[in-house]
Amino acid sequence: MSTKRKATSSSDSRPKRVAAEPPVPRVKEETTDDVSVPTNVAQYRHRLVDQQKELYKDPPVMPIDSNVIITETDASPPMRLSNGDFKFDGFATFRPNRSPEEVLREGAFGGTYFRSIVSAVTNIQYKGKQAAKTSLKHDWVAGLDHKTMLTSQTYSTKVNKWGSKCGGSLGMWESSGWITDADPYGWFQVRRANVEARR
């Protein structure tokens, strides 16, 4: 029987989720003993430092509770406007100008988004090839060189359409509290793929 993590502070007012999306299959690293979400800032900071992650926020912000309720509605697919932006019904100010497929094909992550990682949130090592395989729609990445465009351990500006490095490190995202145990790679991962697949 599994137990849910309890809040460590009475001021923790984060809502709880009834059911979480399935995480990427986990491969436990041999040297990692504590496979769990950190329960306090000191423990989380220790993990970030041990894993030699960038401490963008110090002290780090605790990870988002994956038990937060996330509601999804049956929505129509977004409409592409003449200027290239996407328009989503009910979200007037959310106007992305690239689809997930375009983001990947234009090399926005320098080929590294689905590299192998060790998550400071879960304390688990994830294999990049497996994460990409279970997180992305096949059509989005058909014909791409996965080793160069998706699972490279080193950012390449040559992969990026604009020839520049952009975005923050995993440590920056983790220490800012933006990563959950359900999505250790961040916003572009499992839930994004599942929501897009339903559209």
Give the end-to-end CA distance of the chain in Å, rounded to a whole number.
35
- pLDDT tops 50 at residue 7: no
Please choose, from the candidates 31, 25, 15, the residue with its C-alpha nearest in 3D space to the C-alpha of residue 70: 15
- Looking up tokens 């399935």 gives 22
Task: Give tens-digit pLDDT for 127-171.
Answer: 999 999 988 889 999 999 999 999 999 999 999 999 999 888 999
- Could you tell me which residue, 74 or 97, shows the higher pLDDT? 97
Does the pTM exceed 0.75? no
Whole-number Å distance between alpha carbons of 121 and 139: 30
Q: List the single range of 91-105, 121-135, 151-165, 180-194 with lowest mean pLDDT.
A: 180-194
Average pLDDT over residues 22-28: 42
Average pLDDT over residues 185-195: 60
Q: Which residues pair with 109 in a beta bridge?
A: none
What integer best gives the mean pLDDT of the chain? 80
Q: Where are the beta strands (DSSP E) in the chain?
A: 79-80, 86-87, 117-118, 125-126
Whole-number Å distance between alpha carbons of 12 and 76: 35
- pLDDT tops 80 at residue 52: yes
- The domain locations on the chain are 35-199
